[in-house]
Structures are given as structure tokens and as C-alpha cells.
Structure 1
């Protein structure tokens, strides 16, 4: 009878068992995204984070992270939401890196009280980058004239259809330096004395996790399941926190009238695929 009753208790309340909620954060970090092009942002991750920290009996929350980076703002917002809830709910945060946690991905990893990675994972890239294209010569070849009218002399700064101006580039670099300083401050605050004195630590360089461990960027090498079992015992259970199914997903395949919206979303995703591919390929992925 006692055994039967225990089956109806939450796993975290059964004798000798500990349940650790798991959040999976994967993909580039940027606002927007859709069913065909999922991305990480506070809007897309807040629900998962809240659900994981709402499990009262869990002593910790595990985060499976795989991201090449992206928006510094969204990266910091996700980081802050995790840290705020960790302090509010008094829970430990364990981050497990899969293929890569670089740039904004590493910024999110800093939310962990411990960062664990596979020896071949890529970590680091503590820097800021802006990339784009210039199309002014293409317009000349196809006989198109670009016309831009602004109120404010800097409203058309870094227009990809006009030649670059030295003063515009200098302004962009100043913005990058300020964002970089914020990133460096976060790393120093979260990693503290663990960091090695290495000249390339804050240059945007990235390393395998094996080297990252020597540099103090992570705390250990391994995988989530083995680490959790070792830390919380053989009866410890991992509970994956799944996102709620969206209204878009529920309607898909039920009403034919949404076909134009679905096609537009798919086309938008294809248009941005090259940018995302470049982010992953930078780390050999």
C-alpha cells in the first residue's frame, strides 16, 4: 500500500529521489523567430525558465546550452532572468554546454553557478562583432539609383547601399567597445578568481572546453546525466521542461486559410538562413 501511494507523489518527493528540471536553450540569440526559424530571446525562453524554477523541491536547475551567440541585449536579458530567479528561489544553476557556448552563448552560460562542457565543446569568444554587406556597386550595375531623404544627418548611418564613411565606422567601433566592456565586466564578476591571466582571454578568441577549463572559463568536463547522478545520487531524475504549444502550432494543419502566413514565415526563415549558417560555421559547426 505504501509503495502504491508513493507512485502518486512527485518524483522529487519520493524517498531518495531528486528531480532536476532541465531547460534546453539552442540556436542563435536574436529577437523574432518563428516556427520555421526558432531563435533564443527573452520572449521565447522566459516561459521555460519560469516553469523550471517553479518546481519547489528541486535543489537546482540544469540548462543544456548550444548557441553561437547573437544579440548582446537578448543574451544579457536571458542571463539576468535566470540569475534573478535563482536568487529568488534559492536554487543552484548548472549549465551544460553542448557543441558551443560562444559570444552571447557564453554570456548566457555565465548564469551558471557551475559550467560543465564536453572536452570538444567550443567556449569563449568574449567580444563583439558587426557584419553586413555593401551593395552600392551592384546598384550601379543594374541601373538603380538609391534615394534617401532624412531629417537628421546621422539617420542613414552605415546604409548598405552607400559607401562606408570613416566617421560612421568610428561610431560603430565606439558602440562595440562599450558593449565589450559590459561583457568583460560580466565575465569577471561571475568567474572572478577562477580566470587565468591570459592575453587573449577578452580578445574574441575561442577554445575547446579542455583549454577553457585551464583558462577558468568553465568548471569541469563531462555530460549532464553523469554529472547529475554523481552530484545528487543514482536515483536523481532529469525532467525536461517543454515549451507550451503555440496557437500557431495548434492551428497548423487545421485551417487552410493560414497558408499565406505560413508561406511568408517560411520564406522569411530561408532569407535569414545564410546569416545563421555563418554564425555556426565560424566555430566549425
Structure 2
């Protein structure tokens, strides 16, 4: 027994002290627009980190740090469902912390938290669906350019930006958006129904609010930050353990297999950067 105690004194304190442990997974960037040089949020990109966090036996819970203006509704929902499945499988509470922005798909992911926390100045909400494009048909007509396109399937070029907009195409797009919006609304009501404090017209208009207003509306549970809330919940000696995402994709991209891959890769990065900048700018960032 004395020998065991002596060995324990020679070991780092973190090896034998049993302080509460909370793994922290950061979910940062636009959703579904991730590229190796501009990391965002996709299920494939965050699945391993989520698995690692929830599999920690000693973990008292899992913290999600979210900073996202939204993006793909599919990837948002897939990440949400994976978090909830892991939480139920391992019986661990989930704490979602919104930093600068938890809007649109970013807020949808935050709904996976059993408790949602934000800063007073965080941007929260934007419960809606948006699609944006351009119309170039008049521009190419002035330039004397003739658009030639061949399809099998009469709706294959629906909403083509180089052709005049057709009312029936817009109606179809709006019907699709309505279905996606309703899924989002149903999820908010299922997860936040008892705390919501506002009309459907207000809450689900696509508007976004400060963290303090979001608290009044019942979209979040409290104002705070990761360190403060976790210490309050689990004690001053709680250990917050960051879980890193895999960087394998970055290495593959920095060392391309062929020279032909490089221009395409740079083009992807440029498009991703423009799309990401547009999403962040919607919230004044």
C-alpha cells in the first residue's frame, strides 16, 4: 500500500485525480461548404470527433462550441441526428455553447444540446430557408451569346441562371423550401416547445436576434460561456478536454496526386471562400 502511494506521488496529478471531465467539440464554419484549406462543418468531418467525445467513459457530459452562420440543411440535420444518437447511446448530457453566431443550420445543430448557452451579443435564430442565384439571360443576349443546352428530362435545367426565370420553376422551389422549413420548425418545437415564448410568425420568420433577445424568446436557456457554466455545473476543478478533428484531408490536398488536381482544388477553395463570406456577412461579420 505504501509503495502504491509512493508511485502515485510520482505520477502527474491528471493521471490519478478523478476530477469531472467534459470533452469539448468545436463546430465552426459554414455547414456543407468545408474544404481542406477552409474547414467547415460536415458529418464526415466531425463524426470521428463526436464519437471520441461520447465514448469517454469518465465524461460527465459533452460540450459543443458552435460558431456557424448555417449552410446545408441536410448536413445540419445529419450532424444534429448523430449528436442525439450518441447522447442517447452513451447516456451523456449535451451542452451547446453558441459563440459569435448560431444561426440557421448553426442553430439547428445547437438544438442537439440539452441546454443551449449563448453570449449576450451572440447572433441566434434565422429559422428559415434561403436560396439565391443570379439571372444572366439579358447579359448574354446583349453580348450576342447564344445559350445551347441539351437535356433528357424537361425539368433538368430548372432555374438555369442563363435562361429567363419561369414562374412554375419558382413555385416548385418555394414548395421545396416550405418542406425544409417545416422540418426545421417541427424540430425547434420538439426540442424547445416548453420554453418558446413568441408567435410562430415571429420565431419562424427567418429573423435573427441577440443572445439576450433569444433568451427572452426561449430559443436558448441562459447567457454564459463554456468555462463559467461548466465550472458552475461540475465544480471548479472540472477538466475541459478539446477533441481535435482529423486533418488527413488537408494533407492529401496539400500534396495532390497529379498536377491537374491543383487548379480544380484552387477553384473549389475560391468558390467556398466566396460562399462562406456571403453567409457570414448576412450577420454583420
Q: Given the superposition, is the C-alpha separation of residues 49 and 2 from structure 1 closer, same or farther in structure 2, using an over 3 Å criterion? A: same
Measure the CA separation in 2 of the matches of 1:151 and 1:115.
48
Counting only pairs closer than 5 Å after superposition, residues 191-202 of structure 1 correspond to structure 2 as 191-198=192-199, 199-202=201-204
* Partner SS, residue 78 of structure 2: helix
Aligned structure 1 segments of 4 or more residues deviating by more than 6 angstroms: none
Aligned counterpart, 1:269: 269
Aligned counterpart, 2:102: 101
Give yes or no for contact 1:11–1:18 (8 Å, CA) kept in 2: no
Give yes or no for contact 1:158–1:164 (8 Å, CA) kept in 2: yes
Q: Given the superposition, is the C-alpha separation of residues 256 and 166 from structure 1 closer, same or farther in structure 2, using an over 3 Å criterion? A: closer
Q: Given the superposition, is the C-alpha separation of residues 190 and 134 from structure 1 closer, same or farther in structure 2, using an over 3 Å criterion? A: same
Counting only pairs closer than 5 Å after superposition, residues 1-285 of structure 1 correspond to structure 2 as 2=5, 4-5=7-8, 11=14, 14-15=17-18, 17-30=19-32, 33-198=34-199, 199-246=201-248, 248-249=250-251, 252=254, 261-285=261-285
- TM-superposed deviation, 1:11: 4.4
- TM-superposed deviation, 1:3: 6.9
Q: Given the superposition, is the C-alpha separation of residues 245 and 219 from structure 1 closer, same or farther in structure 2, using an over 3 Å criterion? A: same
Taking only aligned residues, the RMSD between alpha carbons, in angstroms, comes to: 2.1
Q: Which structure 2 residue ranges, 5 or more long, are not aligned?
A: none
Give yes or no for contact 1:97–1:118 (8 Å, CA) kept in 2: yes
Give yes or no for contact 1:29–1:40 (8 Å, CA) kept in 2: yes
Measure the CA separation in 2 of the matches of 1:146 and 1:97.
46
Q: Given the superposition, is the C-alpha separation of residues 7 and 163 from structure 1 closer, same or farther in structure 2, using an over 3 Å criterion? A: farther
- TM-superposed deviation, 1:2: 2.9
* Partner SS, residue 200 of structure 1: helix
User: CA deviation digits over 1:82-134, x for unaligned, max 9?
Assistant: 00000000000000000000011100000000000010000011111111111
The two structures have a TM-score, normalised by structure 1, of 0.92
Measure the CA separation in 2 of the matches of 1:89 and 1:217.
26
- TM-superposed deviation, 1:136: 1.1
- TM-superposed deviation, 1:247: 5.6
- TM-superposed deviation, 1:20: 0.5
Give yes or no for contact 2:23–2:241 (8 Å, CA) kept in 1: yes
Q: Which structure 1 residue ranges, 5 or more long, are not aligned?
A: none
Q: Given the superposition, is the C-alpha separation of residues 88 and 3 from structure 1 closer, same or farther in structure 2, using an over 3 Å criterion? A: farther
Give yes or no for contact 1:13–1:57 (8 Å, CA) kept in 2: no
* Partner SS, residue 194 of structure 2: helix
Q: Given the superposition, is the C-alpha separation of residues 216 and 28 from structure 1 closer, same or farther in structure 2, using an over 3 Å criterion? A: same
